[in-house]
Structure 1
Amino acid sequence: MKDVNLSEYSFEGGENGSLVDLRNLDEADKKRLVMAGVDVNDDERAGSYLHMNHGSIHCTSHQEGLELMDIKDALKKFDGLPDYFWKLIDPEKDEFTREAFKNLHGGYFVRVKKGVKIAQPVQSCLFMKGHGVGQNVHNLVIVEDDAELHLITGCAVSSATEAAAHLGISEFYIGKNAKLTFTMIHNWGEEVVVRPRTHGVVEEGGEFQNNYVLMSPVGNLQSAPVIDLNGRGARARLNSVLVAPKGSYLSSGGVLNLNAPDTRGEIISRTLTTGGTIVAPGRICAKDVPARGHLECKGLILGDGRIHAIPELDGYLEGVELSHEAAVGKIAQEEIEYLQARGLDEDEATSTIVRGFLNVEMEGLPEELQRAIKEQIDQLDSSEDVL
C-alpha cells in the first residue's frame, strides 16, 4: 500500500459560506452528489447536512425528535459531549486520528431521541472541492433507546481528477432496542486518499446495519469499522459492494465483537476488480455464549487486478458458532452458456451475472443513482479475455 504524506494537502483556509438550498449548487457538483446518494431536492429526507472542505454550509431538520447539526455546534451546546466525543476511538491511534483530533473542521452530529422513529432517511454529505484539499471531520450518531434512524452519507469530490485527502472519524451509539441503518456511498476520484476510522456500540436488543457502496475510482482507501455488540440480543450486519478500476487501491473490511449472550453478527462483502487491488479483511470475535457470526467474502476478477480476502474468526468460549465463506475467481463459463441458451448474447449474460452478484438494491437511494449504478455495471468490460 502506497504511503500517504499529509503534508501534500492543505488543511487550512477552506471555509465556505452558507447554502440555503441544495438545488443552488452548480450542475456539475449536483451530479457528483447524486452519485454519492444525495437527494439535492431534499423532498424525501427528514434532514440534510452538507459539509464542504473545512466547514458546514447547509443543515436542515424537518422532524421533531431529531437533532441534526454540525459537530462543532453540538460540542458548544452540550458542553463538549463528554460521554460520547472521542470515547470509542483513541486520538493517538495513528497519524490520521491525530490530525483529525488537533484540527477539527466539522462533521455531522445526529441524535434521535428516545422512542422516536424517523420515517424518512436523514442524509449527510462530506464534499471536497479544489485540488489538494485535506479534510478532517468527526461524525457522531446517537440513536437512543427504542428509536430508529436510516442515515445516508455521501462522500465525494467535485471532480474525479482532483487530488484530495479525507480523514473521517465516526462514532455510533445504538441504545436498547434501537435500530440504525447506515448507508454510505462514496464517489471519490483517482487521486483521492481516504482514511475513515469508525467505531460503534450496540446495546441490548439493538440493531446496526451498515451498507457501503464504492463503484467509482479511488486512489487509496483504508477502512475497517469496529462494532461492539455489548448487550444481550444485539445484532449487526456489515454489507459492502466494492468495485476497483485500474489504479484503485482499496483495503476495506470490518470487525464485529460479540461481547454479550444471544448476539448475532454478519459481514457480507461483494468485491469486483477490473484492474485495481482490493484487500478485504473481516474479523468476528465472540466472547460470550450463545453467539453466532458469519463472514462471507466473494470476489470477481474481470481482466487484471487483485482481490485478497482475509476472513478471521476468533472464539473464546465453548458454544460459540462462527463460520466463514470466501471465494475469489471469474465468471463460470457454464453460467454464461446457460443464459445464452435463453436468448442473451455474451455481453448481456455477463452484465446480468455481474449485476446479480453485486446486488446493490438498497432502500432510500435516489432513483437516478440506482439507474447510474446499473449503467456502470453494464459498462464493465465483458470481453472474452475476462471470462
Structure 2
Amino acid sequence: MNASDVKLSDFTFSGAEESTIEDLRSLSDDDKHQLLMAGVDVEQDKRAGSFLHLNHSGVHCKSNHKGVEILDIKKALDKYDGLPEYFWKLIDPDKDEFTRQAHDNLHGGYFVRTEKGAKIEEPVQSCLFLKGEQVGQNVHNVVIVEEDSELHIITGCAVSSETEAAAHLGISEFFVKKGGKLTFTMIHNWGENVVVRPRTRGIVEEGGVFQSNYVLMKAVGTLQSYPSIDLVGEGARARFNSVIVAPEGSHVNSGSAINLMAPNTRGEIISRTLTTGGTIVAPGRITASAVPARGHLECKGLILGGGRIHAIPELDASREGVELSHEAAVGKIAQEEIEYLQARGLDEDEATSTIVRGFLNVEMDGLPEALKQAIDEQINHLDSSDAM
C-alpha cells in the first residue's frame, strides 16, 4: 500500500464504542497474544499502571503507584478544565487531514502525569487496540513528567489477528519538566493493510531527559511518523532509538527530529532499518540554534532480498560553535562476515541470524520476556537465502 492511496473515507470513525474491561486477563487468548507482541502484559506484573483503548473507547485504566496519575484523556479534559496548558499546544490541529480528523472527532487516548519528584521504577503500559474491519481510530495522548520525576511508558499499538484493514490516527504531546526523565517505548504490531498516522511533539526543560525507543517488526500497510522534540532548557537531552523491519508490501516512512534550542543540550538519533521486500524512508534531522550544543545522527539500513531503503540524514546549524555529525549506510550483509562466522562453526542461516540480531540490537528496558523471545524468533525466521 502506498501512502498516496490512503482515503479516510474508506474507514468508519463512529459506532465502534466498547464496554469497560475490568480485568485484562478476561480477553481472548488471541487478543492477549496480539497485545503481548506489542509489549502489553495482561497480568500487569511489574507495571505501575495500565491503560487500554479499544476501537472508539477507553475500556481499562488503572494506576498501581500513587506517584503517577493515569486517566482517559476525556476524563482528564473534564477534570482539568480542558488542559489549557497542554492539550493541542505542541501540534497544530490543521497540520494535515489526519490531525484535523483527530481534532474533530476525539475517541479517547491516555493522560499520564507524575507527581513532582516521583521516581516510578516500574513502567506504565498503555495499548491502543483495533478490532474490527475498516475501523478508524482517533486518539490524543498527553504525558506530563513533573520536575525531578522519572517515568517509563511502554505503549503498544496493535490490531486483532482477524482484522485486515483499519486506520489509527494518534496525537501525542510530551512535556518533560525541569530535571525530569521520560523513557517512551513504542511497539507496533499492525497488519498488512493498516494505515498508521501518528503525530508527535515534545518539549524538554532544563536538565530534562527524553528517550524514545521504537520497534516495528511486523507488516504494516502504510505508516508515516516523524516525532519532534524541542530541547528548550539548558542541559536538556534527547535520544531516539528505532528498530524497523519492513516485509514485502509494507511502506514505512519513519524518522525523528531533535531541536537543540538551549545551551549545553545534546541530541542523538540512532536508526536501524531492515527490509525484506518493503519500502522504508528514514528521515532524521537535528537542528541547533544555541551553543554549546552537540548532536549525532546515525542511520544504517540492511537489505535482505529486495525492497528499498531511503535514508535522509539532515543537520541544520545556525550558530558558530555547534557540533553536529551524522553517518548513514545502506547495504547487504558482507560475504566475509558470513564466512567468518561459518569458520567458527555456524551454518549459513545461523551466521545470518547472528549478524541480523546484532545489527537490529533490540535490547530495551522493560519489555516482557516473552516479547523479547518473540523478537528473536522473528529475526531467526528472516529469509537468510535472500541475504547473499
Q: TM-score range by the shorter chain?
A: over 0.9
Instruction: Please show how residues 224-239 of structure 1 align to structure 2 within 5 Å.
Output: 224-239=226-241
What residue ranges of structure 1 are gaps of 5+ in the alignment? none
After superposition, give the CA deviation of every residue in 1:325-359 in whole Å (9 maximum; x if it has no partner). 00000001111111011000111000000000001
CA distance in 1, matches of 2:188, 2:88: 24
Q: Secondary structure at the match of 1:2?
A: helix
Q: Residue 267 of structure 2 aligns with which residue?
A: 265
Amino acid at match of 2:331: G
CA distance in 2, matches of 1:209, 1:52: 27
Match of 2:115 among 113, 116, 125: 113
Q: Residue 61 of structure 1 aligns with which residue?
A: 63
Is the aligned partner of 1:328 residue 2:358? no
CA distance in 1, matches of 2:28, 2:346: 41
CA distance in 2, matches of 1:161, 1:302: 28
How much has 1:136 moved relative to structure 2? 0.1
Q: Residue 91 of structure 1 aligns with which residue?
A: 93
Q: Secondary structure at the match of 2:384?
A: coil
Q: Is the 8 A contact 1:174 1:202 kept in 2?
A: yes
Q: Is the 8 A contact 1:160 1:189 kept in 2?
A: no
Q: Residue 172 of structure 2 aligns with which residue?
A: 170
Q: Residue 184 of structure 2 aligns with which residue?
A: 182
Q: Secondary structure at the match of 2:168?
A: strand
Q: Secondary structure at the match of 2:5?
A: coil
Q: Residue 138 of structure 1 aligns with which residue?
A: 140
Q: Is the 8 A contact 2:132 2:163 kept in 1?
A: no
CA distance in 2, matches of 1:174, 1:30: 32
CA distance in 2, matches of 1:310, 1:86: 28
Q: Residue 387 of structure 2 aligns with which residue?
A: 386
Match of 2:225 among 220, 223, 226: 223
Q: Residue 47 of structure 2 aligns with which residue?
A: 45
How much has 1:386 moved relative to structure 2? 2.5
Match of 1:256 among 231, 255, 258: 258
Q: Residue 214 of structure 1 aligns with which residue?
A: 216
Instruction: Please show how residues 359-370 of structure 1 align to structure 2 within 5 Å.
Output: 359-370=361-372
Q: Secondary structure at the match of 1:145?
A: coil
How much has 1:2 moved relative to structure 2? 2.8
How much has 1:162 moved relative to structure 2? 1.6
Q: Which moved more, 1:160-169 or 1:209-218?
A: 160-169
After superposition, give the CA deviation of every residue in 1:10-53 in whole Å (9 maximum; x if it has no partner). 00011111111110000110000000000110011000000000
CA distance in 2, matches of 1:337, 1:101: 55
Cα 1:275–1:214 change in 2 (3 A) is: same
Amino acid at match of 2:320: E
CA distance in 2, matches of 1:347, 1:160: 32
Q: Is the 8 A contact 1:161 1:190 kept in 2?
A: no
CA distance in 1, matches of 2:4, 2:52: 30
Q: Secondary structure at the match of 2:379?
A: helix
How much has 1:159 moved relative to structure 2? 1.8
Amino acid at match of 1:94: D
How much has 1:161 moved relative to structure 2? 4.9
Cα 1:192–1:160 change in 2 (3 A) is: farther
TM-score by length of 2: 0.99
Amino acid at match of 1:275: G
Match of 2:351 among 349, 354, 378: 349
Q: Residue 70 of structure 1 aligns with which residue?
A: 72
CA distance in 2, matches of 1:279, 1:159: 26
After superposition, the CA RMSD in angstroms is 0.7
Q: Is the 8 A contact 2:62 2:70 kept in 1?
A: yes
Q: Which moved more, 1:55-64 or 1:158-167?
A: 158-167
Amino acid at match of 2:263: P
Q: Residue 277 of structure 1 aligns with which residue?
A: 279
How much has 1:160 moved relative to structure 2? 6.2
CA distance in 1, matches of 2:142, 2:6: 26
How much identity, in percent, do the aligned residues show?
A: 74
Amino acid at match of 1:151: I
TM-score by length of 1: 0.99
CA distance in 2, matches of 1:129, 1:63: 30
Q: Is the 8 A contact 1:111 1:141 kept in 2?
A: yes
Amino acid at match of 1:19: I
Match of 2:130 among 128, 131, 135: 128
Is the aligned partner of 1:358 residue 2:360? yes
Q: Secondary structure at the match of 2:174?
A: strand
Is the aligned partner of 1:35 residue 2:37? yes
Q: Residue 301 of structure 1 aligns with which residue?
A: 303
CA distance in 2, matches of 1:288, 1:73: 39
After superposition, give the CA deviation of every residue in 1:82-120 in whole Å (9 maximum; x if it has no partner). 000000000000000000000000000000011011010
Q: Residue 154 of structure 2 aligns with which residue?
A: 152
What residue ranges of structure 2 are gaps of 5+ in the alignment? none
Q: Is the 8 A contact 1:160 1:190 kept in 2?
A: no
How much has 1:127 moved relative to structure 2? 0.1
How much has 1:74 moved relative to structure 2? 0.1
